[in-house]
Amino acid sequence: MIVQRRAPWEAFHPIAEIEFMPFRDAGRGPSDFNLNIQDCLWGIWKAMQNGLCDMNEFSVEDYEFYEKVENGDWNWLTPHFIAFASPVDSSWIKREKEAKEISKGNAGGFSSSTNSNLALQRKLPTPFLNCLDYFEKRNIKLVVRLNTELYDRNSFLERGIDHMELYFDDGTNPTDEIVRTFLDVADRVVEAGGVIAVHVSFFHHHTDVIHLQFCSARPGWDEQVH
């Protein structure tokens, strides 16, 4: 369909008489949203019509390189959105845990000298550095974190990249407040020509839901074909 520029109904015609089980989310309860092959074909068609799926601009080498955890672990969703599962800074997580224990012991928090020591000890993992360098070069203006804290947000802020926390539990839908906040901020960043990176631990659900909210708010889009 992409290479020969076939319409969705033409691409589906050779297998139209075969019955396929629809895709559903990997949950235990009954499915309340089934996705079939026609939905996927119409989604690709819609993306092609809106300039979001152009194989002439797609780099297989970049895709296969950056999807690996050791190289950064991210993918471009659309020209204005990146989804990334890294970074995870295990050393920072350990220091934060130790700092909280010290804080509890001192009642008044840990000293400024301790803060300085923690700052001096900070050495970022290579995938994290790759992420920061790439984001800085590719005009990422905002990182939206939807999951628990796995790294120091200041690492992005120091590079001039804004950072926002919009946590919601995996397997759930974001609240109306989270959606409105995301749409308002995303609109401003996109209109200014910037790119937004959405961070979750395992890519799935969180990124799909929040990005879908943005796309479905655009004229001519709806959830099923997205």
**168 against 63, higher pLDDT:** 63
Q: Over the chain, what is the mean pLDDT?
A: 81
Question: Given 76, 100, 123, which residue is the final one in a domain?
Answer: 123
When divided into structural domains, the chain yields a total of 3
Q: Among 131, 133, 134, which residue's Cα sits nearest to residue 150?
A: 131
Mean pLDDT, rounded, for 56-83: 88
Q: What pLDDT does 176 receive?
A: 87
Angle, alpha carbons 62-67-68 (nearest 5°): 110
Domain that holds residue 105: 90-123
Whether residues 169 and 216 fall in one domain: yes
Let me know whether 64 and 130 are in one domain: yes
pLDDT tens digits for range 125-165: 888 888 899 999 999 999 998 888 888 999 999 999 999 99
Query: What is the pLDDT, as a whole number, of residue 117?
Result: 45
For 197-216, write each residue's pLDDT tens digit: 988 765 454 455 555 555 55
Top-confidence residue, 220 or 138: 138
The two beta strands, 81-84 and 140-145, are: unpaired
Q: Are residues 82 and 104 in the same domain?
A: no
Closest alpha carbon to 152 in 141, 165, 134: 165
Residue entry with tokens 């937004």: 196
Whether residues 66 and 101 fall in one domain: no
Average pLDDT over residues 73-98: 85
* Distance separating alpha carbons of residues 46 and 22, to the nearest angstrom: 20
Instruction: Report which of 27, 34, 138 is spatially closest to residue 84, judged by C-alpha positions.
Output: 138
| Domain co-membership, 66 together with 162 | yes
Instruction: Check whether residue 67 and residue 170 sit in a common domain.
Output: yes
70 with 98, same domain: the answer is no
My answer on whether 25 and 112 are in the same domain is: no
CATH of the domain at 214: 3.90.190.10
* 157 and 71 housed in the same domain: yes
Q: What phi and psi values does residue 64 have, to the nearest 5 degrees?
A: -70, -25
Query: What pLDDT sits at residue 34?
Result: 86
Q: Which amino acid is at 72?
A: G
**Where would I find the H helices in 67-111?**
90-106
Whether residues 76 and 172 share a domain: the answer is yes
Q: Are residues 37 and 96 in the same domain?
A: no
Domain identity same for 150 and 223: yes
Pairing of strands 81-84, 195-199: parallel
